[in-house]
Amino acid sequence: MTWLAFILILVALVAFVAGQLFLKHAMESSTATGLRDRKVIFFLCWGVLSMTIHFFVTLGLLAHLDLSYVYPFQGLSVIIISLAAAIVLREKLTAQLTIGALLISAGIVLVSLS
Amino acid sequence: MTKTHNHPSGVANPWLQLWLSVVCVLIYELLQKRGATETANLSENWSWTGITALASPLVWLAMVLMIISLLSWLYVLRYIPLSIAFPLSRLVDVLIPLSCWLILGEHISPRRWLGISLVVIGLAIVAKPVARLEEKL
Please state the rounded mean pLDDT for residues B24-37.
87
Q: Across chain A, what does the average pLDDT equal?
A: 88
Among the partner-chain residues B30, B50, B70, the one whose CB lies closest to the CB of A63 is B50
The residues in B 44-73 lying below 8 A from A, measured between CB atoms, are 47-53, 59, 66, 70, 73
Distances (CA, A) of B48 to A108, B34, B39, B66: 24, 15, 11, 21
Among the partner-chain residues A62, A86, A111, the one whose CB lies closest to the CB of B83 is A86
Q: What is the SS3 assignment for B35? A: helix
Interface test with A, best of B17, B109, B126 (most A CBs within 10 A): B126
Asked if A96's CB is within 8 angstroms of B126's CB, the reply is yes
What confidence tier does B3 reach under pLDDT thresholds 50, 70, 90?
very low
**pLDDT, tens digit (0-9, with 9 covering 90-100), for A13-48:** 899 999 999 999 999 999 888 888 899 999 999 999
pLDDT for residue B39: 79
Asked if A84 contacts A17 with a C-beta cutoff of 8 angstroms, the reply is yes
**pLDDT, tens digit (0-9, with 9 covering 90-100), for B34-52:** 887 887 777 667 666 667 7
CA distance A22 to B115: 29
Asked if B118's CB is within 8 angstroms of A110's CB, the reply is yes
pLDDT at B122 over 90: yes
pLDDT for residue A31: 87
CA distance A17 to A51: 9
The whole-model pTM stands at 0.80
Asked if B123's CB is within 8 angstroms of A104's CB, the reply is yes
CB proximity list for B110: less than 8 A, separation 6 or greater: none
